[in-house]
Amino acid sequence: MQQSMQPNMQPNMQSHLQSNRRPIGASISQSALQHNLAIVKKHAPHSKIMAVVKANGYGHGLINVAHGLNQADGFAVLGLNEAIDLREAGFSQVILLLEGVFSVQELGIAASLGLDIVVHSAAQIEMLEQTRLSKKINIHLKMNTGMNRLGFNASEFLAAFSRLKSCTNINKITLMTHFATADEPLGIAAPLALFQQTVEKLNLPEPLPSSLANSATILRHPQVHADWVRPGIILYGASPVTGTLARQFDLKPAMSFTSEIISIQTIQAGESLGYGNRFTASQTTRVGIVACGYADGYPRHAGQYLTDKNQLGAPIAVNGIMSQTLGRVSMDMLFCDVTHIAEAHIGSPVELWGNTVPVDTVAEASGTVCYELLCAIAARVPMQVVD
C-alpha cells in the first residue's frame, strides 16, 4: 500500500515508491463493458437501457463504467452524490435515483440537475406535494410485488398514483417494480400478474411507460422487457443466475483482478499452513504465497464452502494455469497450490478472477454472490482502465 508522503520525504523517494508498488491491481475493460451493453441491446432491442452503476459502478469505478457504457440511455445510481459526479463529468443521459430522495433539500437538487427519482413511500409523496421546485421532475412510481423491500403495496398503489398525478411538481410518471425471483425456477408469473392487474385498475387512457426487468429478467423473461430495462450485474460480465456461468450468456468480464506470487514454500505430508492450520498436506506440496488478502477485497472464507480441512479451495490461475487456494486467507496474503505448475516462481502472475477464473466460480466457492466480490474491491488496490 502506498503511504502518504511525509513532510521531509523528497520527491524522488515518492517516485521510487510509485515504481515499486505492491504487485496487485484491477484492470477495467472498456471493450468488455461495451460488449456486454451490446448483449443487453440484442436481448431487449425495443427497450431503453437504464444501466445500473450504483456502488461505485459495482466496484469498477463509477466514471470508468459510465464512459464504457456511454451508449446507454440512462444511468441508475443510489445516492445523490453519484448523480452529481456523473453530471459534473458531462453525462447528460437520464439519471435515476433508485431509492429516491431523503430530504426536501435533496429533492431540490435533484430537480435542478434534471434527475429522475424513484418514489416508494408516502413520505416522498408528501415532499413532492409540499415543496416548490424550480422545475418539474420525472418520477418512477414503485410497486411492491413481493420483494417486500421498497414500494407501495398493490392496495396502496392506486391512491399513491392519484396523488402524484395531481401533484404540480411532477412531469412524467414511469411505473416500476422489481422481481425477487427472476433468477430462480419460481420465475415472475405471480408478481407480474399482480403488477398488471393493479395497473389495469388505473384506467389509463393510454399506457404509461414501465420499468420491470433487471439482469435476470432481461435474459430469462423477454416478454416483460417493456419500455425500460435495468441491467446491472450482466454489464460487468458476471452471471445473475446461480449455477450458470456468464460465458453461457456470451458476457465478458469487465474486471480482471490480478497479483503475483511473492514467495514459495514446500511443505511435507502432515505439515499445515496458515491461521488455524486450515490445510494439512497429505503429500509434498509446493505452495505459492500471493500478495492478496481480505483487506484487498478477496473473501476470507474463499473455498470454505466447498471443502473440508484437507481439501483445496477457491479457483485461482497461476501463469494462466488453473489451480486452487489453500487454507485460510490472511489480511494481506493467501496460499495457492503450485505443485503441478513447475514454472511457477516468485513474480509469476496470478489471476484471482477475470478471463480465466470467472468471478462467479470464486463466489460460489466462498458461499456468496459475485455482486459482493466485485463491490468489495478495496481502495488500496490500484485500478486502471484498458481498452
For residue 318, the cross-strand partners are: 321, 350
Report whether CATH 2.40.37.10 matches the domain 255-386. yes
Instruction: Return d(Cα 334, Cα 318) in angstroms, integer.
Output: 13
pLDDT at 278: 87
- Rounded-to-5 percentages of helix, strand, coil across the chain: 30, 25, 45
| Domain layout of the chain by residue ranges | 30-238, 255-386
DSSP state of 202: T
Instruction: Return d(Cα 372, Cα 212) in angstroms, integer.
Output: 23
Mean pLDDT by 10 residues, the chain (387 residues): 41 53 96 98 98 98 97 97 98 98 97 98 97 96 97 97 97 97 94 97 95 97 97 97 92 98 97 92 97 97 64 88 96 97 97 97 93 97 96
Catalytic site residues? 54, 275
CA 17 to chain centre: 31
pLDDT at 18: 54
Instruction: Return d(Cα 366, Cα 350) in angstroms, integer.
Output: 18
Q: Do residues 146 and 114 lie in contact, with contact meaning Cβ atoms separated by under 8 Å?
A: no
- 171-180: b (≥16 Cβ within 10 Å) or e: eebbbbbbbb
Give, in degrees to the nearest 5, the angle at Cα 169 between 119 and 228: 45
Q: Which of 302, 271, 306 minimizes the C-alpha distance to 287?
A: 271
Q: Which CATH class is domain 30-238?
A: alpha beta
The most distant pair of C-alpha atoms in the chain lies apart, rounded to whole Å, by: 77
| pTM of model > 0.75 | yes
- 106-115: b (≥16 Cβ within 10 Å) or e: bbbebbeeeb
pLDDT at 11: 54
Identity at 209, one-letter amino acid code: P
